[in-house]
Structure formats: C-alpha cells, structure tokens
Structure 1
Amino acid sequence: MPTIKDVAKLAGVSTATVSRAMVTPEKVSAKNRKKVELAVAECGFTPNAIARNLRTRESKIVVVILPDIANMFFADIVRGIQLVAEKQGFKVLLGDSVHTVKQAEDYINLVRTKQADGIISLTAELPTSIKDDSTIPMVMACEYFTGFPIPTVRVDNAGSAKRAIEYLLELGHTHVGCITGPMENPICEDRKQGFIDAKLEAGEGVDNLCFESGDFSFHSGYSAFQRLHNQYDMTALFCFNDMMALGAMRAAIEMGIDVPKELSIVGFDDLLFAEYTTPQLTTVRQPQKQIGETAMMVLAKLLRGDTVPQDNVIPTQLLVRSSSTANRRG
C-alpha cells in the first residue's frame, strides 16, 4: 500500500508539503498542489481519514453508545438510527460501554479528536463532565438526565407505568408487586413514581414490601420474584422491562403458580419475543425504531446548527395479552 513518502518522492516534494496539501491546501502553492494531486492519483494513495477530517471538520460518522450490546431492546433503536443516518449521509459506529463510564468516555473522545461528529447515547452511565460540555453534539435516547441541556428522545415513563397499574387495578388487583430496575436510573425513578401515583389516586396504600429491584436482566427478574414472593402476597406483578418480566414468569411457573389465573404479569418494552411466550406477555410498548429515527433526526439538526427541541416524547401503547386477567381471589 503506497505511503505519504511514496507520494512525496513521486511528486518531488517533501512529506510535509504532501501533508499540508491534504490538510491545509490553501497554504501550498498551486504548482505543488498539482504535483501532489497527480502523484496521489498515479500511485493510488488513500489520504488518512483523520487528516481529511481535520480539513473538512467533519467525519460523517456518528457514535451510538450502548450500555450492553447483547441486550436485544436496543436492536430496533439502532436500526432506526441507521436508516435515518444513511439518508443524511452518515455512517454509524456502535460502541458498547459494558456499563462502564470509562469505556463511554473513550467513545466520547472520538468526537473530541474529530474522528466522529456526534453521539447518540442509549446509556446514562456517562462521565459527569459531559453534562456541561456544550462542545460535544449529543442526543440522549431512552435514558436522560434532568436539569442538563442535552436533547432527549424518550417515552413518558411515569405516565406509561401509571397506565399499566391502572389497568391492573381495573382488573381488581389491589396487591400488585413491582420489580424495578436500578433506582439510581432516572427512568426507574419515573416508572416507580407512576406506580405510586396510580395506587394513591385509586385510594390504595403503597406497601414498601411490594418492591424488589433487578438490573433489567432475565436472571435478575427470576431471583427478584423469588424474594418478592416470600415477602409480599400479590395477585399481579409489574416489571420495569420485559426481560425481568419473563424471568419472573419462569420463576412463578416453577413454583407452581398459574400465570395468569393466580398471578397476572405486565412488562415494559414489547420485545420481539413478548408475544411468542406462553402465556403471551402483556406489556407497555416502546416504539424502539421510532425512538432511533427521531434521535438521529435531532442529532442531524444539531450538527447543522439548527435549533432542536430539548425534550422529544414518543407515545407508548399498553398491549393487553394473555399474561394478565381479572383477579380471581376476590
């Protein structure tokens, strides 16, 4: 593969002149620029992408930071991002932060070094400094911070959770258990508040024993249900995502609990397999593809210097399936 030295030798100029001709061509004479252009064409040299980025000040690459690339919830969001990115002339680079701030910062530094133009973050596990760094074009999707000027694309987590609990109350379930996600996460705070608001507005008390926490994984839902079952007598269960709901369903069935005759279960997300389980999972549908498409459209506007709305809320839908039914205990 030809190098910059090969170009310099063929053009009869120094390597420094070749570099300047590519990065800052206005600083090189027309004669030498022509020599470099001819030499590049003759030997088939491909200019370094970083050098080209420094000249144009754009890479046409956006970084999407995920907390866990193995979590299938993000698949349709990324698909939505990519569809819009291609139309806007951008390539998408996926970065798995594996739930670490350090790894997320490494991807953010790609923008600081001009190797990427902007970021869509699907995780809130980010360095504190990013919250006040207005030089980094960033959009938060699904996750969000409160009180910081970072454009966000999200669903109404509190309102959606409230509607799910209202539905269970309408079915006669007054003893509703809840498996939360990590409570330091703003979306979990909002979903818990929606749960509490629905109960209080219905004149029902909230027993702290009805809550158990998980980490959004299948296994955490499985083990959280076992703990919850030992401390709280419930006829229905609300989980903060589908993975934990399915883990809880597995644990309940292994304990000999009939779902939904003895226990109704409601999840959140509407993952692909939610309607293919037995019983099919009642859940709050997040329109993942639309979230991704909207996030990329907002970032593209941000990169063009356009004014963008700070809070973009996408509607959800409660999908009633066979994992929930009327309370039969009376």
Structure 2
Amino acid sequence: MPTIKDVAKLAGVSTATVSRAMMSPEKVSEKTRLKVELAVAESGFSPNVIARNLRRSESKTIVIIVPDIANMFFASIVRGIQQVALQNGYKVLLGDSIHTVEQAKVYMDLVRSKQADGIISLTAELPMEIRQGTEIPMVMACEYFPGFPIPTVRIDNRGSAKRAVDYLLDIGHSQIGCITGPMENPICVDRKAGYQDSLQQLNIAVDEAAFEDGDFSFQSGYSAFMRLHEHYSMTALFCFNDMMALGAMKAATQLGIKVPQQLSIVGFDDLLFAEYTNPELTTIRQPQEDIGKTAANTLMKILQGSKASQDTIVPTQLLVRSSCCSPSK
C-alpha cells in the first residue's frame, strides 16, 4: 500500500511538504500543490481521513440531542440516524440534554467550535434564540415548533390522536379520559386538539375533568390515572404515549379495574413492549426508524449544500390490539 513517503519521492518534496499540501494547501505554492496532487494520483495513495477533514474544516461527526436517554422511544430513531450517518462516512455523538436547555446548548456549541458538523435534535427544549433560526446545520425530529425556520421531520400529531379517539368512539365509548404530556410541548397541544376534534365532530362536549397531565414516564401515567380515577368516570382512556399507558394499566389493575372489560386503553408510539403487555396495547404506531433515517438524510443534504425539505410529515398507523373492546352495558 502506498505511503506518504512514496508520494514525497514522486513529487520530489519532503513528507512534511506533502502533509502541508494536503492539510493546508494555501500554505504551499500552486506549483508544489499540483506536484503533490499528481504524485498522489500516480501512486494511488489514499490521504489520511483526518487530514482530509481538517482541510475541509469537517469533523465528520453529527450530534443527536435526546431529552431523556432512558426513554426507549428514542432508541429506534437513533438507530435510523446512525445507519444513514455511517453510510455517509459520519460518526454519531449521542447527547442527553436531561430536559434542560442549558445542556442542549452545550451540545450545540460543539458545532460552533467545529467539533461536530451538524445536529439532529429530538427535543424541543432548546435555547429560545434557536426558534428564530440558526447558522448551525440542524434538523428537528419528532418535536417541533409551529413556524420553526429549521427543517423538521415529524408526524401529524393532531390527526393521529384523532384517529385513536375516533376508534374508541366507533366501538361505543363516549366517556374517554386522557393522560396528556407536558402541555407546553407543541406535540401535546396537537394531540389534545386531536382528542377534542374527535369528540366535537359527534357533538360530544369536551369535559376538562377528563384530562390529567403526565410527563411521558411510566410513573406519571400511574399517578395521573390514580388522580383521574378519583374525579372522572370513564370507560376508555387515551394516553399520549405507551409508557404512560402502561403505568395507567398497572394502576387500573391495582384498583381492580379489568382491562379491557371495564376500561379500554389506547397508547401512542408502539414501543417494543406494546404487543407483549397483557392485554396487548392498542396504540398509534410511529415509524421511529424511518423518522431517524429521514432526519439524517435531511441533514446530509444540508451538509452537502443541497436544498432540504422544510417540513416532512411521516405517516402513522393505528394498531388495534386486545386492550380495547366495546363498553359493557
């Protein structure tokens, strides 16, 4: 395999000059640069990747910011991003923002300091100035802000939530409780709107007592169900994610409420465990790996200087399993 010494010999220069010509071509004469390039081509030498990246001011690294690394929802999205990144010669750095804007900014600063080339953010907990636009090559995935000037890959949260509640109405439920996520989050605002759309199309009044907030965790689903059960009579429950649905299912079981005979439950996401619960969880499936791949391909276009889609909506699917049935008479 040809080495840098072979290139230096063919070009009639020192190995230091060869390195300089590849890493900082502006520091050598045009004549010397051309001699080195011809020698590289003639010898078949493959320049060191690090040297090539330094010359181009590239790190060949992208950063993925997740709000909570313990949340299994993000695993398949990260896998999809990594597959595309590796295919394009990029490494992936995974950063857990721990639901804090301050930590997200730390990872964003890696791009500003040229330690990374771009960012895919799976969290909306970002510095306020980012919402107005940024010079950082960046893509939002899953989370978004209405009118956000940065390319976004997401689902139709409003339409997907409406589909879930439509199903419960179709099988005879009208008293449908709802465990939301944090309502300052745009996707939660949209999912609540989808719930309301579904009831309103049948002229069913929306009762604010039907709602309890969670934070997408298993424990918050459990606690929210316990609170909801105290003041709202329901035959069905819609949860804004599968983790909270599983927590609610545990709470219902502890209270002696049979699922689905006395309470139908619908989740959102289709996490791996959803089809292995007892009963299996009816849910809205987000194509998590596809979301990751689409977000990564969008970022690759940006890094290559190509035009990227500003708002890509990935389709979801209602998966009907055994956690739902018609209400008992």
TM-score, normalised relative to structure 2: 0.87
Change (3 A) 1:80 1:324: same
Residue equivalent to 2:55? 55
Residues 255-290 of structure 1 deviation map (CA, whole Å, 9 limit, x = unaligned): 000000000000000000000010100000000000
- Contact conserved, 1:264 with 1:323, CA < 8 A, in 2? yes
Answer yes or no: is 1:119 the counterpart of 2:119: yes
After superposition, the Cα gap between the structure-2 partners of 1:202 and 1:58, relative to the gap in structure 1 and judged at 3 Å, is: same
Once the two structures are superposed, residues 146-179 of structure 1 have per-residue CA deviations (whole angstroms, 9 ceiling, x without a partner) of 1221111111100000010010001111000000
Q: For the residues of structure 1 that align with 2:32 and 2:241, how far apart are their CA atoms?
A: 64
For residues 173 and 256 of structure 1, the distance between their equivalents in structure 2, rounded to whole angstroms, comes to: 20
Structure 1 Cα separation of the partners of residues 326 and 222 of structure 2:
23
| 3-state SS in 2 of match to 1:187 | helix
CA distance in structure 2 between the partners assigned to 1:133 and 1:159 by the alignment: 27
Residue number in structure 2 paired with 1:4: none
SS of the residue corresponding to residue 65 of structure 2 reads: strand
Q: Which runs of 5+ in 1 are unaligned?
A: 1-10, 35-46
2:320 is matched with 320
Percent identity, aligned pairs only?
Answer: 67
Quick one: distance in 2 between partners of 1:100 and 1:18? 46
- 1:12–1:275 CA distance, 2 compared to 1 (3 A): closer
Give the match for residue 219 of structure 2. Answer: 219
Matches within 5 A, 1:35-114: 53-114=53-114
> Which shows bigger deviation, 154-163 or 57-66?
57-66
Relative to structure 1, the CA distance from residue 211 to residue 285 in structure 2 (aligned partners, 3 Å threshold; closer, same or farther) is same
Report the Cα distance in structure 2 between the residues aligned to 1:115 and 1:210, rounded to whole angstroms.
48
Q: Secondary structure at the match of 2:259?
A: coil
Residue 26 of structure 1 aligns to a residue whose secondary structure is helix
Q: Secondary structure at the match of 1:139?
A: strand
Aligned to 1:40: none
How big is the shift at 1:12? 12
Match of 2:162 in 1: 162
State the 1:22 CA deviation.
7.2
Equivalent residues in 2 for 1:140-289, closer than 5 Å: 140-289=140-289
Residue 59 of structure 1: how far off its partner (Å): 1.4
Q: What is the RMSD computed on CA atoms of the aligned residues?
A: 2.4
The 8 Å contact of residues 63 and 119 in structure 1, kept in 2 or not, is answered as yes
Query: 1: CA distance between counterparts of 2:23 and 2:100?
Result: 35
Partner of residue 291, structure 1: 291
1:219 aligned counterpart, secondary structure: helix
Query: Does the residue aligned with 1:76 lie in a helix, a strand or coil?
Result: helix
Q: What is the Cα deviation at residue 56 of structure 1?
A: 1.0
Cα distance, 1:198 vs. partner? 0.3
Distance change in 2, residues 1:240/1:26 (3 Å): same
Between stretches 144-153 and 18-27, larger displacement belongs to 18-27
Q: 1:26 offset after TM fit, Å?
A: 2.2
CA drift at 1:248: 0.2
Q: Is the 8 A contact 2:133 2:149 kept in 1?
A: no
The answer to whether 1:129 aligns with 2:129 is: yes
Partners of 1:306 and 1:209 in 2: CA distance:
49
1:28 shift after superposition: 4.1
Task: Report Cα offsets for 1:53-87 as digits up to 9, x if no partner.
Answer: 55312111111000011111011101111111111
Amino acid at match of 2:144: Y
| 1:70-110 residue CA offsets vs partner (Å, 9 max, x unmatched) | 11101110111111111111111111111111111011011
Amino acid at match of 2:225: F
Aligned-pair CA distance for 1:131:
2.4
* Distance (Å, rounded) in 2 between the aligned partners of 1:31 and 1:60: 28
Residue type at the aligned position of 2:24: T
Task: Measure, in 1, the Cα distance between the counterparts of 2:300 and 2:98.
Answer: 26
1:161–1:194 Cα contact (<8 Å) kept: yes
In the alignment, residue 242 of structure 1 is paired with which amino acid? D
Q: 1:322 to 1:206 in 2, by over 3 A?
A: same
Residues 199-240 of structure 1 show CA distances to partners (whole Å, capped at 9, x for unaligned) of 000110000000000000000000000000001000000000
1:24 positional shift? 2.7
Q: How many residues align?
A: 305
Shift of the 12–73 alpha-carbon distance from structure 1 to 2, 3 Å rule, reads closer
Inter-partner Cα distance in structure 1 for 2:59 and 2:248? 45
Deviation of the 1:48 alpha carbon: 11
TM score, norm. by length of structure 1: 0.86
